[in-house]
Structure 1
Amino acid sequence: MTEYGRGPGSEPWHPEDPLYGDGGWEGQQAHVGHQPAYGGQQQHQYPQQPQQEYGDWGQGQAQQYDPQYQGYDPQQYVDQGQQQYVQQNHQNHQNQHDPQNLQNQQNVQNPQAYHEGYQEGGWDGAGTHAQVPYAADPGDPYGQQAVAYGAEQPDFYGTPDAYPPPEPPARRRTEPEPAASDVDPEAEQKPDWDPGPDQGEHAFFAGDAAEDDADDDEPEGRGNRRGRGGKGGNGSKGTKTKKSRNGVACLVVVLVFVGGIGGVGYFGYHFYKNRYGSAPDYAGNGTSQSVNVEVPKGAGGADIGRLLKDAGVVKSVDAFVSAFTSNPEGDSIQAGAYILKKEMSAKSAVAMLLDPSSQANVVVKPGQRNIEVYKVIDEKLALSSGTTKKVAEKEYKTLGLPSWANSNSDIKDPLEGFLFPGTYPAAKGMKPEAVLKAMVAHADDVYKKYDLEAKAKAFKLDSPLQVITVASLVQAEGKTADDYRKMAEVVYNRLDRANPETYGFLQFDSTFNYLKSESKIHISESEINRNKDPYNTYTNKGLPPGPIGNPGEVAMKATLNPTDDGWYYFVATDGVSKTEFAKTHVEFQKLKDKFNESSGN
């Protein structure tokens, strides 16, 4: 059903409407819709005809029915329809008070009629509301049984609890406003509707002010409503509360606005300072307090800057990086330990890192013997002379030597050949064990690359330690990279005890100098022949018990890749840097005479 004044539609008629279920105004409208059963018999279903416009009824155009029903008596049909109408009129009174009963009866008595009546119902062109007749309920006082046609029906609209008689839409009047004295302020409720965004400003900005203005415009007769502003009914107190809330809201807005400006300014200042301003830096050459800093291998400017900042040397990494890149020699800073000052300017820190005197390192040179390295470590660590040597003799097994080292009980120094050439941190306060461990670890890493066990078998040597020993001899006797390869061939050829030149004797002066801890070139034959030390290769065939120094990588590579030209002899003809090689003893004598001439012998 639809509301009054509107066309037919799908919106239902609310059951609480006083005219719900009314069959017509004051019982005078004709009943339109589905026809009742004829003579109490089951009603036949008529064929569905196209729906006619409501105005067609006013023009006398009626719906056509099946010809098979034309034989019925029209007067009898009218009498039955009038009697059914009387019953319907009483039933409508009942349905006004019991909408659910109407719904139940519609569904039970004639579902199809209910469905069709719902679809065809509404206000027609003559102002008639279509209804479907329903049987009255005997248990309902309003649902009286039908009487004879024309009899007077009791009027239930006059009872105190009944709804007033229905009125057409044109006669309806709006309900009057309740009097001011009848209004209960406590019972008033907020409206169920929301004005929406287009109906006014948000309460945060306009709500309080609008209420104050409304209170001022109200008449004196509604003073009770003015008292709602305060809990105790005091209007002035409520006004103060509203104004206070309004002031707090404005204060919040101002604080947020000012805070936003301050935050933007703060971050903007720091962004500008970090991007365009100079980095924080100390001034001068630092304090009197010294600090040791170890620069690892491969460290760049930013890495060094972080180390110095953590140690308290420079104030910021950016300041050091700027000074590092500005100095043309900055890239030449080497790995190692440095003694620096605290709170230095970045420029002074870079200059001190480039100064060799500030370096707290131990530099092991290729071919250098361990006894010399121990002395340098003692100096760098400010230890008494001989301290590091004693530690090496006592703690050598705990310093990380490979398992194949120290295989000969005649070795003078187990660490010889394992303090690999390089630069190592050695600043005051460090322990000698730490320095020695770093050197041995480096040597072990290098030797692992060459697979010395396989190389030892290839050159008919007993162990990887003998490969290191050959490399130490090549390093001690050679002068250039080319010399190293020829020198390695000389060693391998002489180690063959079946060779017709030396029969297994190396006869190297460097081995005798090692056992004497000297570096003399001129040694008398009588002195050499009297000494039977295992390191004396004049009186003992084969290699010495162990290395006689710390070979570098150039000598190591030459040892593993010797020449194959048949060299057995060599002589430093100038006594210093020039080395010449010979294949026979006759050629060797000629080189020896040349050496004597150059030396004045």
Structure 2
Amino acid sequence: MTEYGRGQGPAPWHPEDPLYGDQGWGQQTGDGQTVHGGQGQYYPQQPYQQHQPQQAYGGDWGTGQQPQQPQHPGYGQQMYDQQGYDGSQQYPQGGWDTTGQAPAQAQYPYAADPADPYGTGQNAAYNGEQPDYYDTPGAYPPPEPPGRRRDPEPETDWDPGPDQGEHAFFAGGDDGDEDDEYERDGGRGARRGRGGRKPKKRRSGCACLVLTVIFAAGVGGVGYFGYQFYQDRFASPPDWSGDGNGETVTVVIAKNSGGYAIGRQLKEAGVVESVDAFVAAQTSNPKGKSIQAGAYLLQKHMSAASAVDLLLSPKSRANLTIPEGTRNAKIYKMIDDRLKVPEGTTAKAAKKDYKKLGLPDWALDHPHTKDPLEGFLFPSSYGVAKGQKPDAVLKDMVSRATDMYDELGVEQKAKSLGLDGPWQLITVASLAQAEGTSHDDFRKMAEVVYNRLKPNNPQTYGRLEFDSTYNYVKNQSKINLSLTELRKDDNPYNTYYHKGLPPGPIGNPGEDALKGALDPTHDGWYYFISMDGKTSKFTKTNAEHQKLVDEWNAQQNKD
């Protein structure tokens, strides 16, 4: 039977240790029992309870009874059982009862041992073995008090192998330092075996090769992006020199395009070598930001500065310009010529796909119209070049018209002018555009239309009697029309025959004609005539108008 305090391992606290003097942890009595001589420490997680005098720790080990002891860890007994500490273990006085509960006895707190700087109060376990405090193999033992003798490290017959001394990463050792920590502590508390350290794992050459490749790829990637960063920040962007290689290309620049958008289009067409070079050239040119939307004739492999200069020059413009009041039939032919397609191609596309070109809802489903797109090919300048499709060009024109109509508010203002809707307002604007000879005429011409539309007017009794409506349906532009012919032709667009407005617009009004239709004069005009073909004269009665007609006829006879 092993006595209390005498384990098989070396005693951690020797009575004759000069660092501790007479503060040893036990003195033997004559009967082989050990009396607690020094001062212990209460367990830090247990509350203080009533203090009572210290008693000797002893008992007859032969009876199978454990000596009476306080609830305090580490005095010749395992602190915890092998199942680990769960907070329910109690340490009774006078033995353990069958219920597992400690008798209600007074607890014995102890002051901290001055020689134990960490306040652990832990001693060597019974039989010389290190206790497993939390039943976890990886738990570390409590720190050693100062001055404690260190046991020599056990020698093993394990050979570290030929890789000894190399870095663990390349030598194939374990990644962690846990084994080294246990080795420094003399193997105490380690659960990996007591006969020696577990041999180190060796990495395969394939794994090292993969890691080396990854490392090299990372270095290469950093180098590449570093080079790119240098090129972007400090080096000049790639750029060609000269005015081009003689190969002409057409570039269509969209509305509201910025420098980078234009640069990308030019680079895709092969005009400039890089977008950055174009943006730099545009920024350095004082007029660089005044580049307009449209079609341009340029050359491939131009320097960025030369491309900017040519875009600012009228010589490079390849736009299709639609004059105000132009009819759709003429616009279709203009588009065919620019696209280099057979005549009639655009007209067929318009007739087939007009509902897919972006017309507003109020512009659809008007019966008896000659062309549902009339009035929606807005007069402006468009980039039209060979290679484009007719429907794409038409869609651009319709979009420009609807944007203008929305901007002017034709849908909201039509009813206030006595019209059924915006469709009739566009028709009035087209009449003013066709009959007017100058921008100053449009407001007065719009008033003539509105006055004649009144069914009870004493001058025309609801008839417009505009030559332009008859010319539209006949696709002509005559000025000397026979009144007898006009009054006999039953055509929806013949305003001499039918009262009110024609079925739809008779051309494409410009912005000034639209504004005139939205804001007519209120002077009582009913008649107009152009004496020189440049200006119009307006009158309020038929008698005044007839005098001007007679004057004009007399002038024509002299010529």
TM over 0.5: yes
| RMSD, matched Cα | 5.2
Matches within 5 A, 1:470-509: 470-509=428-467
Displacement of 1:282 in angstroms is 1.7
Matched letter for residue 484 of structure 1: F
Q: CA separation in 1, counterparts of 2:330 and 2:530? A: 24
Which of 13, 21, 25 is the aligned partner of 2:27?
21
Q: CA separation in 2, counterparts of 1:278 and 1:530? A: 76
1:562 aligns to what?
Answer: 520
- Larger fraction in helix: 1
User: Is 2:395 the counterpart of 1:437?
Assistant: yes
Which of 560, 571, 579 is the aligned partner of 2:536?
579
Q: CA separation in 1, counterparts of 2:515 and 2:367? A: 28
User: Is 2:113 the counterpart of 1:100?
Assistant: no
Displacement of 1:472 in angstroms is 0.2
8 A Cα contact 1:470 1:488, kept in partner: yes
Which of 477, 489, 495 is the aligned partner of 1:519?
477
Q: CA separation in 2, counterparts of 1:298 and 1:359? A: 17
List per-residue Cα deviations over 1:497-542 (Å, max 9, x = no partner): 3111222232323223323433344445456456554433334432
2:499 aligns to what?
Answer: 541
8 A Cα contact 1:489 1:562, kept in partner: yes
The alignment-based identity, stated in percent, is 51
Structure 1 unaligned spans of 5+: 14-19, 35-46, 50-83, 89-94, 124-173, 190-201, 205-251
Matched letter for residue 186 of structure 1: D
User: Is 2:287 the counterpart of 1:274?
Assistant: no
8 A Cα contact 2:27 2:37, kept in partner: no
1:5 aligns to what?
Answer: 18
8 A Cα contact 1:573 1:579, kept in partner: yes
Q: Are the structure 2 counterparts of residues 107 and 317 from structure 1 closer, same or farther at C-alpha, using a change threshold of 3 Å?
A: same
1:186 aligns to what?
Answer: 157
SS in 1 for 2:456: coil
Q: CA separation in 2, counterparts of 1:424 and 1:286? A: 25
Matched letter for residue 284 of structure 1: G
Deviation larger for 373-382 or 590-599 = 590-599
Matched letter for residue 581 of structure 1: F
Q: CA separation in 2, counterparts of 1:595 and 1:277? A: 74
Matched letter for residue 273 of structure 2: K
2:253 aligns to what?
Answer: 295
Matched letter for residue 491 of structure 1: V
Q: CA separation in 2, counterparts of 1:276 and 1:556? A: 53
Matches within 5 A, 1:355-504: 355-356=313-314, 358-405=316-363, 409-448=367-406, 455-504=413-462
Q: CA separation in 1, counterparts of 2:370 and 2:294? A: 30
The alignment covers a number of residue pairs equal to 423
1:170 aligns to what?
Answer: none
Q: Are the structure 2 counterparts of residues 105 and 284 from structure 1 closer, same or farther at C-alpha, using a change threshold of 3 Å?
A: closer
Displacement of 1:491 in angstroms is 0.3
SS in 2 for 1:392: helix
Q: CA separation in 2, counterparts of 1:498 and 1:102? A: 121
2:273 aligns to what?
Answer: 315
Q: TM-score scaled by structure 1? A: 0.56
Q: Are the structure 2 counterparts of residues 579 and 108 from structure 1 closer, same or farther at C-alpha, using a change threshold of 3 Å?
A: same
List per-residue Cα deviations over 1:437-494 (Å, max 9, x = no partner): 3323433444455665664444343454322211101112234444222211110001
Matched letter for residue 283 of structure 2: T
Q: Are the structure 2 counterparts of residues 271 and 513 from structure 1 closer, same or farther at C-alpha, using a change threshold of 3 Å?
A: same
2:305 aligns to what?
Answer: 347
Q: CA separation in 1, counterparts of 2:391 and 2:353? A: 8
8 A Cα contact 1:2 1:122, kept in partner: no
Matched letter for residue 5 of structure 1: P
1:214 aligns to what?
Answer: none
Q: Are the structure 2 counterparts of residues 595 and 351 from structure 1 closer, same or farther at C-alpha, using a change threshold of 3 Å?
A: farther
Q: Are the structure 2 counterparts of residues 437 and 278 from structure 1 closer, same or farther at C-alpha, using a change threshold of 3 Å?
A: same
Q: Are the structure 2 counterparts of residues 466 and 21 from structure 1 closer, same or farther at C-alpha, using a change threshold of 3 Å?
A: same
Q: CA separation in 1, counterparts of 2:113 and 2:347? A: 119
List per-residue Cα deviations over 1:33-77 (Å, max 9, x = no partner): 99xxxxxxxxxxxx999xxxxxxxxxxxxxxxxxxxxxxxxxxxx
Q: Are the structure 2 counterparts of residues 387 and 119 from structure 1 closer, same or farther at C-alpha, using a change threshold of 3 Å?
A: closer
Displacement of 1:349 in angstroms is 2.3
SS in 1 for 2:340: coil
